[in-house]
Amino acid sequence: MLKKFLIKLVIESDTKLGRRFDIFIQILIVLSLISFSVETIPDLDLRIILFLEEFELFTVIVFSIELLLRLTLTKPPFKYLISFFGIEDLLAVLPFYLSTGVDLRSIRIFRLFRLFRIFKLLKYNSAIDRLLFAFREIKKELFIFLIATIFLLYVSSVGIYYFENAAQPDQFKSVFHSMWWAVATLTTVGYGDVYPITVGGKIFTTFIVFIGMGLVAVPTGLLASALSKTIEEDKQ
């Protein structure tokens, strides 16, 4: 009887009880991420620090219980533990246990693992499921596009280096130094900290900007098409 109740609560997200549990976990994840961000504010009041520590303890207890229940209710248990969400659940609570009784200054890097809690939201949202499915549908196209982007990034870096190195040796010292300009230009960000001053460099940049506009539009179009197809299939 208890096992069936726990399965409906933790495993079966399509039940009323399961949906309520999912919403509770989602809210707790968001609050824990907010708490993580608040901790970075300098000169916090001691009462706030103590409250955040107590809240962190509460979230770790809840997430640990959830992880143990999923391991217990999933057959075999290791199937869940080695899955993406199992590893993510483990990383969400790992920093707390690693820091217990140890000087936190020596393992501050492990606090970054708390950011993995944001990935816990992925398994509680059907819209995100559709988005992930859409990505899987176009993964081959995205891979080819990624290769083309890397090639274009290199070509852009080489091109601007040859146009601008003589005029701006400090800004465009090498092809590798020129890659920052290439990334900012191809993504149409254009911070303006590094820019061409030669005629050839300006003409070259104009072409790269137009190519960059297409660079952003192509994967967006592919994803929108795949997502639209996924939504239509869900409605049928």
* 140-157 tens-digit pLDDT: 888 888 888 888 888 888
Tally helices (H) and strands (E) across the chain.
9, 0
Classified by CATH at the fold level, domain 2-124 comes out as Four Helix Bundle (Hemerythrin (Met), subunit A) (1.20.120)
Helix, strand, coil percentages for the chain (3-state, nearest 5): 80, 0, 20
Options 3.40.50.720, 1.10.287.70, 2.40.50.140, 3.10.20.30; which CATH number does 136-235 get?
Answer: 1.10.287.70
Q: What is the DSSP letter of 32?
A: H
pTM: 0.55
Q: In this structure, which amino acid lies at residue 4? A: K
Residues of the chain with CATH 1.10.287.70: 136-235
pLDDT at 47: 92
Q: How confident is the model at residue 128 (pLDDT cuts 50, 70, 90)?
A: low
How would you class 13 by CB atoms within 10 Å of its CB: exposed for 0-12, middle for 13-18, buried for 19 or more? middle
Is the CA virtual torsion 58, 59, 64, 70 positive or negative? positive
Residues of the chain with CATH 1.20.120.350: 2-124
Looking up tokens 């003589």 gives 166
Residue, of 156 and 79, whose pLDDT is higher: 156
Q: In this structure, which amino acid lies at residue 77? A: P
- Report the share of the chain in percent with pLDDT over 90: 6
Q: In this structure, which amino acid lies at residue 167? A: A
Cβ within 8 Å of residue 222, ≥6 positions away: 138, 141, 142, 145
What is the average pLDDT score of the chain? Answer: 78
